[in-house]
Structures are given as structure tokens and as C-alpha cells.
Amino acid sequence: MNTESKDDPGKKLRKLLGSSSPLTRLPKKNAKTTTFLPDPEEDEKAEEPSQEDDSAPAAPSLKTSSASSPKPKADPASKGRLVIFGPALWNIASVLSLAVNVILIIVLIVLVISINSIGLSVSSLLNMGTDLLGGLYGNFEKMDRAHITTDIKVETIIPVKFDLLLNQQTNVVLSQDVTINNALVTVNTGGLNISRANTTIVLPSGTNLPVVLNLTVPVDTTVPVVLNVPVDIPLQNTQLHEPFTGLQEVVRPFYCMINANAVNLDGAPICK
């Protein structure tokens, strides 16, 4: 006689699904969650399973989910962008680095070939650099110590205008006969005595007459000037001193890199 019809349908379903209830797979808020279904363990204790039920295959047990809240996951969009752009960026950087290295190697090879074709060595190149930088530094120093020496020719006309004061005694010579009218003449001789008589006197030319000059003579004229003016200007005392010393300071570090024992025109070392 078949006993399956006598079994409870709920009991058969619980046996097929296993000892756990399907509701246990849902997240629980707390451990005291109530359920309206009968406890499968109490049913199993109350009724022993039949032989037919024991032969039925048991369903795999399902693990209950944790009551804790799920962990936040990373944004799939940002992760996707990193996955897309990351390899492309590294590929571009690798290509650029390789291209720069290739260009530098080509330039180096061309320089080596050019130097070998000219027949220059490293020592000759260093000597050329020393001569070049030393010549620049020395010439800038000489320019700073140089003097501008020349003769400046002056040709001009200077206006002269002033009053000349004269107050002195001198002798004048008559250039012609001079007649003096109504002159008072006194003559004392052995037979003739004349006292302060009016007469006319004639002074012949060439007569020296002592006179006193006391007068103001106005002078208004021009004087031509032609002369050479010597000029000697040291450049250290001019505004060119600062540019010349600045050029020396620009060349000095490179000159000292090639020749650490470089000296100036006075013999003093410049690489200190």
C-alpha cells in the first residue's frame, strides 16, 4: 500500500529542498526574524521519515547570506575608462621615447663622422674651445682697459663784444703839420720879453707829443679760431665699462670649464 498520499505535501517539499527553508537565503535584519512556516527540524523530530523518503536524493544545502550590508563596488564606468586609456597612453609614450632615442643616436653618429672626416681629435677640439673662449675673454678685457686717444680739430668763429677801458700815458707822433690858433706864448730873450701873448703856432709833422689816454673803447668784432684739441678718454670711466665686464662674466664660466688655470691680462687667476 502506497503511503505517499498520507504524507503532508509541505513535508515532501521541505525534504526535496533540503533541511533549510528557501526563506533563509533572504537577507535578515536581525537574528530574531519570525517565520510562519513550521520548523523543519521539529517536523523531522516529530515524524520519522519512511523508507521511500530516505531513498530520495537529498537536495544540496544552500548557505544563508550574511546579515551584514554588501560592500560598495567601484564605478564600472571609471574603471572602464582606465582600462581603455591606460594601454594607449603607455604605447604613445613608448613610441615617443623610442623616436627621441633614435634621433639622438643619428645626430651623435653624424657628429662623429663629421669630426673624423675633418680629422679633428678631442684634444684639438678642446684647444679650439680654449682659444676661442680665451680670445673672447681677453678681447673683452682689453676693450674695458682701452683708451680713446685722438686729436679733435676745432675750426670756428668766436664773436667778441666788450668795452675796453684805457687809462695810460703814451707818446704820439704827428703825421702832419698841426696849426694851433690863439695859443698863449711867453718869450724871454736878452732883448725881447713877451709874456702870454696870443699867437699862432705851427707844429711840424713828426713831432713827438707825450699824451695821457683815459677813455673807453667799445669792441664788437669776431675772432676766427683754428686749433687741435688732444683727447684721451679711458673706457673704464665711461658707460661702456659695465657692458664689457658683463661680457667677461658671461664667457668666464665656459672658459673655466675648459681651462681651470686661466689668467687675465695681469696674470691673476680668473677661476676662483
* Gyration radius (Cα) of the chain, Å: 67
Closest to 210 measured CA to CA, from 168, 167, 170: 170
Assess contact for 158 and 222: CB atoms under 8 A: yes
- Type and span of the H or E element at 156: strand 147-173
Q: What is the pTM of this model?
A: 0.38
143 has pLDDT over 60: yes
Give the C-alpha separation, 134 to 250, whole Å.
12
Q: Which residues make beta-bridge pairs with 179?
A: 202
Give the C-alpha separation, 29 to 43, whole Å.
26
The model's confidence at residue 130, banded by pLDDT at 50, 70 and 90, is confident
Q: Which residues make beta-bridge pairs with 167?
A: 214
For the chain, what percent of residues have pLDDT higher than 90? 15
What is the per-residue pLDDT for 68? 46
pLDDT tens, position by position, 207-260? 888 888 888 989 999 999 999 999 999 998 999 999 999 999 998 888 888 888
Regarding predicted confidence, which is higher, 264 or 112? 264
What is the per-residue pLDDT for 62? 40
Using DSSP's 3-state secondary structure scheme, residue 230 falls into strand
The model's confidence at residue 59, banded by pLDDT at 50, 70 and 90, is very low
